[in-house]
Amino acid sequence: MPTLTTKSQVTIPKAVRERLGIGPGAEVEFVVVGDHVEVRPAARPSPQALGQHLFGRHGSGHGRLSSERKAILKERLRAQHRARR
């Protein structure tokens, strides 16, 4: 049975790691359920979902990153305009 180290760490048994499909460097979530804890592989967005979040659907240029860039550019143009006065 695994024990807690002085740094509050515990080794996940090999059979459990293999069943969860996790290895060194993998991120896991700890979920408290009543009087016990469940260890789950951390949920990660797919590369497609991440791309859509950053760039919008199908590279339309209307994603979050694009709107943030537009806001930065707009502010820079305003600052340049104020400096010319």
φ, ψ at 9 (rounded to 5°):
-105, 155
Is residue 61 very low, low, confident or very high in pLDDT (cuts 50, 70, 90)?
low
d(CA 29, CA 20): 12
**Residue 42 structure tokens:** 């951390």
Domains of the chain by residue range = 1-44, 47-84
Q: What is the DSSP string of 2-55?
A: ----TTS--PPPHHHHHHHT--TT--EEEEEETTEEEEEEPP---HHHHHHHHH
Q: What is the pLDDT of residues 1-23, one digit of tens each?
A: 889 999 999 999 999 999 988 88
- The pLDDT value recorded for residue 73 is 80
Is residue 60 pLDDT above 70, yes or no? no
Pick the CATH number of 1-44 from 2.10.260, 3.40.390, 1.20.1300, 2.40.50: 2.10.260
What is the tens place of the pLDDT at every residue in 37-59? 999 988 877 777 777 777 666 55
- CA-only gyration radius of the chain, Å: 23
pTM assigned to the model = 0.48
